Structure 1
Amino acid sequence: MRIVFLCIGFLAVAAGLLGIVLPVLPTTPFLLLAAACFARSSPRFEAWLLNHPMFGPPVKKWRENGAIGSRAKTIAIIGIVSGFIIFVVTVSPSLLLGMVVFAVMAGAATFILSRPTA
């Protein structure tokens, strides 16, 4: 299982790196997954991630008290609202599909806003 967790950790880091440049792909959830996988497979890579100057602070804040930084919250909410507007304008979904997508995005936004602010 160590190898499986290690591979998932590296894939999650790669996805997190893609999330830096792709606006629809979140970075931090993938880094949290990577940290969890590295904790089960490689203390060395876990320490690298936690001590990384860019990636470490949000992971540490999450581990300490489930907190999300105010800047990250703002960017996430703007991204969710923008994504929904783009979806509605470009796809012209049926009312049912629009409501389902809205409910999922509203759920994500509610979760983000309910977390403590770091």
Structure 2
Amino acid sequence: MSEPKGSRRWRPFYIALGYVCMGLAMAGTVLPVLPTTPFLLVALWAYFRSHPERAQKLLDHPRWGPMLRDWHEQRAIPTRAKIAAVTVMALSWIVVFFTSKGTWLPVIVGIILCCTALFIATRPAPKRG
């Protein structure tokens, strides 16, 4: 078997990062304020550099595997996921807007969320075939 991406020196870091992100992703499945998908994507990235077998287990997972494969192979996001993500970001911004006392925080958060929403919205939908 060939050496995974990343030097041997960095392998423990990538393995640890993968496990930490998997733990955060698992917590995110039950905690509404913690996202799951970004942590799964970082875990997949880290495992590909340190533990390809673990990365393959993630890609083969019955629930998360299809979404992770779509991103890994096509850089694609399903339309339903795009709508959900942008909707949650908009609702989050509304909460920030009505609960912050100053004007800078809503502006900064709004710019960040708009850029993120634009990135998500411009990703292709997965091609099945």
Question: After TM superposition, is the score higher than 0.5?
Answer: yes
**TM-score, scaled relative to structure 2:** 0.83
User: Could you tell me how far apart the structure 2 residues matched to 1:48 and 1:64 are?
Assistant: 15
Q: Is the 8 A contact 1:16 1:30 kept in 2?
A: yes
Q: Secondary structure at the match of 1:21?
A: coil
Of 103, 106, 119, 1:111 maps to 119
Q: Pick the structure with more helix per residue.
A: 1
Of 54, 60, 66, 1:45 maps to 54
* Aligned counterpart, 2:23: 14
Match for 1:104: what amino acid?
Answer: I
Q: How many positions carry a matched residue from both structures?
A: 117
User: Could you tell me how far apart the structure 2 residues matched to 1:36 and 1:71 are?
Assistant: 23
Of 89, 93, 102, 1:94 maps to 102
Match for 2:103: what amino acid?
Answer: L
**TM-score, scaled relative to structure 1:** 0.91
Q: Is the 8 A contact 1:24 1:79 kept in 2?
A: no
1:68 Cα shift? 0.5
Q: Rg larger in 1 or in 2?
A: 2
1:17 Cα shift? 1.6
Superposed CA RMSD in Å reads 1.3
Larger relative contact order, structure 1 or 2 (CA cutoff 8 Å, min sep 6): 1
The answer for unaligned runs of 5 or more in structure 2 is 1-9
User: Could you tell me how far apart the structure 1 residues matched to 2:71 and 2:38 are?
Assistant: 10
The share of aligned pairs that are identical, in percent, is: 36
Regions of 4+ moved over 4 Å: none
1:15 Cα shift? 1.4
User: Could you tell me how far apart the structure 2 residues matched to 1:4 and 1:71 are?
Assistant: 34
* Aligned counterpart, 1:54: 63
